[in-house]
Amino acid sequence: MTKTDKISSLLHRGVAEIIPANKLKEQLKGSKTLRVKLGIDPTSPDIHIGRAVVLWKLRAFQELGHKAVLIVGDFTGLIGDTSDKEAERPMLSQAEAKKNAATYFKQALKILDPKKTETHFNSKWLKKLDFLEIGKMADQFSLHEFIARENIKKRLDAGKRVGLREVLYPLMQGYDSIAIKADVELGGTDQRFNLLAGRTLQPVYGQAPQAIMTTALLEGTDGRKMSSSWGNTINITDTPENMFGKVMSLPDTLIEKYFLFATPLEEQQIKKILTQNPHPRSRKLELAKTITGLYHGAAAATKAQNDFIARFSNKELPADIPTKKIKAGQYQLSGLMFEAGLVGSKNEAKRLIAQNGVKVGQKVVKDIIIAPGRSPILIQVGKRKLLYIKIK
């Protein structure tokens, strides 16, 4: 691709809005190295590929010669952003935020070029702010601007609580832009107000207002917006087998969107794949192999594909099913599933069993009594979780 083609793709592919669009286009044509900011709060231990949409966009800026500035919000994560929430987000403890953030840079650098990436934790500057500085920033906004936001207005109209700390979050995200002197900030459409806060605050500190680019949100495995809170995520840290299987479980209507948003393949290449694979299943196999290969390499992606086809097309079992050893005794199936770590609770196990989602020895069963022996018993939960269980 020529530089002009790369700029065009950067400005249009998956992009919902750019402010100011013409100025950013001219900057990209120029020789100045832009500082392009992306902030991620560690609300869970894993970065999912819905968040990776903006990471790939940040990578595209790098490939045009610009500097990626990645901020992990170990401080903003404590306060909590409710931009996309229908209720107040609970505050994280410092221990939770630290634990969740431990591998964020490592995960993000699976996508970004480490040589062109500057990394920060925003506690470095935010924990130093005093009330006078916060007051100076707060004076740039009215309460009406905050409560006019769609999700906040919806909560207020429904009589739901809106915490005062929620008002402070955009100030902190905006101050991040000041601290690193951002020229551009990226985020999903749900981040629009927070991104604009940076544009409002920077002139107060003698900086030119950053351009902002928002990208459309990516749906998860159940068709809703991908969110760790809903458990519908495909995580960068997923094993190749789980990642491949999750992509294969996506609704057919999301195949093309995932190619465009979740992979760096050129659009002509995507069109070729879709043309050569008219059936949704073959398209999805290509998509799953592509996404798995991005994070685990071509060999692991091919193995995951072969295992998937063998398991679900040829009805064969994979060769690497793990084994769990437990104490001898009689177990209710739901209790055994919980004991073995196949589910998070006995109630979840009972629900799956009632929905005919559990097999023992490849046969659907109810909540029976099982007494594992030294010969392993195969338990399958859904399509992807398989485990051999035997006594110690």
Q: Are 70 and 120 in contact (CB under 8 A)?
A: yes
Rounded CA separation 332/324 (Å):
16
Express as a percent the part of the chain with pLDDT over 90.
64
3-state secondary structure of 262: helix
Q: Could you tell me where in the chain the CATH 3.10.290.10 domains are found?
A: 323-391
Confidence of residue 147 (pLDDT cuts 50, 70, 90): confident
**Closest to 273 (Cα-Cα) out of 2, 285, 296, 292:** 285
- Cα–Cα distances (Å) from 45 to 20, 40, 53, 114, 124, in that order, read 34, 12, 18, 21, 21
Concatenate the DSSP letters of all residues of 264-318 into one string: ---HHHHHHHHHH--SHHHHHHHHHHHHHHHHH-HHHHHHHHHHHHHHHTS-PPP
Contact present, 339 and 372 (Cβ < 8 Å): no
Provide mean pLDDT across the span 370-381: 85
Model pTM?
A: 0.77
Residues 6+ apart with CB under 8 A from 318: 241, 307, 310, 311, 386
Q: ω into residue 20 within 30 of 0, thus cis?
A: yes
Task: Give 154-167 pLDDT, tens digit per residue.
Answer: 888 888 888 888 88
| Structure tokens given for 378 | 């195969």
pLDDT at 383 over 60: yes
**Whether pLDDT at 222 is above 90:** no
Contact yes or no for 42/77 (Cβ under 8 A): yes
Sign of CA dihedral 161, 162, 164, 165: positive
Ranges for all domains in the chain classified under CATH 1.10.240.10: 240-312
369 three-class SS: strand
pLDDT digits (tens, 9 = 90+) for 241-280: 999 999 999 999 999 999 999 999 999 999 999 999 999 9
Residue with tokens 């551009």: 184
- Cα–Cα distance for residue pair 338/359, rounded to 1 Å: 15
180-201 residues labelled b (16+ CB within 10 A) or e (exposed): bebbbbbbbebbbbbbbbbbbb
Classify residue 277 as exposed, middle or buried by CB count within 10 Å of its CB (0-12, 13-18, 19+).
Answer: middle
The pLDDT value recorded for residue 83 is: 65
Q: What pLDDT score was predicted for residue 315?
A: 65
**Where in the chain do CATH 3.40.50.620 domains reside?**
3-219
Q: Are 384 and 318 in contact (CB under 8 A)?
A: no
Which pLDDT belongs to residue 88?
A: 66
Average model confidence (pLDDT) for the chain? Answer: 91
Residue 179 has pLDDT above 70, yes or no: yes
Lowest mean pLDDT among 47-56, 209-218, 220-229: 220-229
Instruction: Determine the pLDDT at residue 78.
Output: 87
Mean pLDDT of 36-48: 93
Q: What CATH number belongs to 240-312? A: 1.10.240.10
What CATH number does the domain located at 3-219 have? 3.40.50.620
Question: Is domain 323-391 annotated with CATH 3.30.70.380?
Answer: no
pLDDT at 85 over 60: no
**Confidence (pLDDT) at 86:** 62
**158 or 186: whose pLDDT is higher?**
186
Picking from 234, 315, 238, the residue whose alpha carbon sits closest to that of residue 51 is 234
Nearest one of 16, 19, 21 to 7, comparing CA atoms: 21
